[in-house]
């Protein structure tokens, strides 16, 4: 975290009770890189209790960006990763929380978020999920590699489960929709600009009708 941002956080902390929730959340932000779990836990409490309103913030998003100096995307991943561990890995969560700042085995929140996505995908088998889980919790695998493994598993699962003809029909339909959207856009532009005579517009409308008919057949 940038020095200026850290200085702003520390100045805010100077005016807060060290025992207050607001102080503890900011303190967790300072330790974010070393232990994201503590921050995820505190932020989930703030969101659920809506305590940020008592601190003068209208929305949770504005609290995160203005006070915590964190992007909404980052906070969203933190929350979802923490809640995922709470739901799916309660024993691991308890161990990580007990370890505190010395949580050397704590996986990166980005990796946990990928594991969360994998659990939600029906296409991924339990065997593949367990393999990915092992990479996140037991191996020294970087988030980018975890994400690559997840995408590879997802592609393989979808390739194995989709009939070639069905895949072709799906791709054909997607292409027809794109073509239809482009044709409609061109027609509207030409009508407004009057660049083509009425006969040309009529031909274009007929082509649009043909594409629409093809889509209704599927």
**Every domain of the chain and the residues it spans:** 3-101, 107-161, 164-217
Contact 106, 35 (CB under 8 A): yes
pLDDT in 10s for each residue of the chain, 218 residues: 567 777 888 888 888 898 999 999 998 888 776 678 889 999 999 999 999 999 999 999 999 999 999 988 999 999 999 999 999 999 888 888 777 644 557 889 999 999 999 999 888 889 999 999 999 998 778 999 999 999 999 888 777 665 556 667 777 888 999 999 999 899 888 888 888 888 888 898 989 988 888 887 65
Report the C-alpha gap between 4 and 72 in whole angstroms.
20
pTM score, whole prediction: 0.64
For helices 90-99 and 72-88, give the axis angle rounded to 10 degrees. 120
């Amino acid at each position: 975290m940038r020095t200026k941002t850290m200085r702003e956080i520390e100045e805010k902390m100077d005016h807060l009770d060290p025992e207050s929730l607001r102080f503890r959340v900011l303190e967790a932000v300072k330790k974010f890189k070393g232990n994201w779990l503590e921050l995820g836990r505190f932020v989930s409490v703030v969101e659920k209790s809506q305590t940020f309103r008592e601190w003068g913030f209208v929305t949770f998003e504005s609290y995160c960006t203005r006070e915590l100096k964190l992007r909404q995307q980052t906070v969203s991943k933190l929350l979802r990763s923490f809640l995922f561990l709470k739901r799916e890995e309660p024993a691991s969560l308890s161990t990580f929380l007990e370890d505190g700042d010395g949580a050397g085995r704590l996986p990166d929140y980005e990796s946990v978020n990928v594991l969360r996505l994998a659990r939600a995908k029906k296409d991924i088998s339990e065997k593949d999920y367990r393999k990915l889980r092992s990479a996140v919790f037991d191996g020294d695998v970087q988030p980018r590699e975890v994400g690559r493994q997840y995408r590879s598993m997802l592609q393989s699962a979808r390739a194995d489960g989709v009939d070639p003809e069905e895949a072709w029909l799906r791709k054909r339909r997607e292409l027809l929709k794109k073509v239809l959207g482009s044709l409609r856009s061109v027609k509207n532009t030409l009508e407004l600009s009057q660049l083509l005579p009425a006969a040309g517009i009529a031909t274009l409308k007929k082509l649009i009708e043909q594409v629409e008919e093809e889509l209704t057949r599927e």
